[in-house]
C-alpha cells in the first residue's frame, strides 16, 4: 500500500521502491495441524521440517508442496516442538542477544527431534539452513556440532535419497519449460546448489539454464534499507540482465529473499525447486514406485 510505504520510507528508512511479500490469511502451522498432521503417523520414516518465517507467514504453499512431495515418497513430516526465527535478520542487524536466545530454542528443539526418531531436520529455506548450520557457531559462538550434519536442505536430503536408490520420483511427461536456476550466495558457500540443479535436471521436459553465480544484491534486510537500495540494485544488475537474455519461462532458487529481489527487479515468476517438483510430479505413480500402493 502506497501510504504505508511512504510512512515506512520516511520513518523507518525502508525504501519505498521495495516490494514486500504478502502475508497469508492462514499460517502454514495452522494448515498443517488441521489438515496434514494426523496423516504423518502412517509413515515409517520421518523428517522434521524447519519451515521458517517465510513459509509460515507469507507462503504456506511451499510448505504444502514440501509435505506432498515427501509424503509421496513415503516420508512423514513432523514440525519441531518449538520453532523461532533462525535469527539471520537479527544477526545482520547486530541483535546478537536476541538471535542467541532464538538459536538456543531452535537447537533444543532440533536435538529433541533427532532423539525422537527424525532422520533429519529439513528446511526449504537455504538461508535458514545456512544460519543454523554455519552462523550459529561462527557468529553466535554456539556449539551445534552434535546436530549440524542433521540440519539440511530439502533438495539436498531428497537428492541423496535418490542417489542411494532409497526413493524414486516419477514425473508427468507433458511438462515443457525453460527454467533458469539462480544459486544464492550462501548455497555456493554450503556447496548445496548441485542438489537442486540435479533434481531440476532430472525432470523430463525441463530445459535448465544454470545462471552464473552473481549475487542478487538483496542480502537479507540490506537491500530494504533506503541507504542501500541503489547499491543493492546495482549489485544485482548482472544477474537481472542475464535472466532477461536467457528468457526462461520462470526462475528457480532456494532462497526466499532472492525470489523477492528477482521478481521485483525482473518481473518474472520465481519458484522453489520443491515447488517445481510438486508441479510436475505424478503423485500416484510415485507412490506406487515407492511401494506405498499396489
Nearest of 149, 142, 130, 134 to residue 105 by alpha carbon: 142
H-run or E-run covering 123: strand 121-123
Q: CATH code for 22-165?
A: 3.40.50
What does pLDDT average to over the chain? 93
CA gyration radius for the chain?
A: 19
- Longest CA pairwise span in the chain (Å): 62
Of residues 89 and 226, more confidently modeled: 89
At residue 293, does pLDDT exceed 80?
no
For domain 177-280, the CATH class is alpha beta
Q: What pLDDT does 13 receive?
A: 81
Spatial distance between the Cα atoms of 85 and 90, rounded to a whole number of angstroms: 9
* DSSP summary character for residue 214: -
Q: How far is CA 1 from the centre of its chain?
A: 26
Contacts of residue 219, defined as CB under 8 A and 6 or more positions apart, other chains included, come to: 92, 232, 257
Q: What pLDDT does 294 receive?
A: 57
Q: What pLDDT does 140 receive?
A: 96
Spatial distance between the Cα atoms of 221 and 164, rounded to a whole number of angstroms: 38
Q: What pTM was estimated for this model as a whole?
A: 0.93
Which segments of the chain belong to CATH 3.40.50? 22-165, 177-280
pLDDT tens track for 161-212: 999 999 999 999 999 999 999 999 888 888 899 999 999 999 999 999 999 9
Asked whether 46 and 77 are in contact (CB, 8 A), the reply is yes
Asked whether 122 and 195 are in contact (CB, 8 A), the reply is no
Q: What pLDDT does 197 receive?
A: 97
Asked whether 249 and 178 are in contact (CB, 8 A), the reply is yes
Amino acid at each position: 500500500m502506497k501510504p504505508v510505504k511512504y510512512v515506512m520510507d520516511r520513518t523507518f528508512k525502508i525504501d519505498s521502491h521495495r516490494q514486500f511479500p504478502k502475508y497469508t490469511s492462514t499460517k502454514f502451522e495452522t494448515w498443517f495441524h488441521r489438515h496434514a498432521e494426523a496423516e504423518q503417523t502412517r509413515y515409517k520414516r520421518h523428517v522434521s521440517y524447519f519451515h521458517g518465517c517465510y513459509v509460515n507467514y507469507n507462503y504456506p504453499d511451499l510448505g504444502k508442496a514440501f509435505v506432498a512431495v515427501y509424503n509421496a515418497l513415503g516420508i512423514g513430516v513432523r514440525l519441531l516442538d518449538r520453532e523461532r526465527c533462525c535469527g539471520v535478520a537479527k544477526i545482520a542487524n547486530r541483535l546478537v542477544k536476541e538471535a542467541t536466545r532464538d538459536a538456543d530454542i531452535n537447537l533444543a528443539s532440533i536435538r529433541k527431534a533427532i532423539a525422537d526418531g527424525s532422520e533429519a531436520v529439513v528446511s526449504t529455506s537455504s538461508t535458514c539452513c545456512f544460519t543454523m548450520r554455519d552462523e550459529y557457531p561462527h557468529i553466535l559462538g554456539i556449539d551445534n556440532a552434535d546436530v549440524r550434519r542433521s540440519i539440511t536442505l530439502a533438495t539436498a536430503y531428497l537428492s541423496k535419497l535418490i542417489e542411494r536408490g532409497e526413493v524414486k520420483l516419477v514425473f508427468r511427461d507433458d511438462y515443457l519449460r525453460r527454467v533458469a536456476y539462480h544459486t544464492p550466495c550462501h548455497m555456493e558457500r554450503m556447496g548445496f546448489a548441485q542438489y537442486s540443479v540435479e533434481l531440476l535436471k532430472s525432470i523430463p521436459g525441463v530445459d535448465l539454464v544454470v545462471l552464473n553465480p552473481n549475487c542478487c544484491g538483496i542480502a537479507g534486510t540490506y537491500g530494504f534499507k533506503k541507504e542501500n537500495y541503489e547499491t543493492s540494485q546495482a549489485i544485482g544488475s548482472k544477474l537481472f540482465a542475464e535472466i532477461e537474455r536467457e528468457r526462461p519461462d520462470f526462475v528457480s532458487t532456494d532462497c526466499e529473499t532472492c525470489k523477492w529481489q528477482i521478481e521485483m527487479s525482473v518481473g518474472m515468476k520465481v519458484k522453489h525447486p520443491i515447488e517445481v517438483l510438486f508441479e510436475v510430479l505424478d503423485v500416484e505413480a510415485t507412490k506406487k514406485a515407492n511401494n506405498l500402493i499396489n
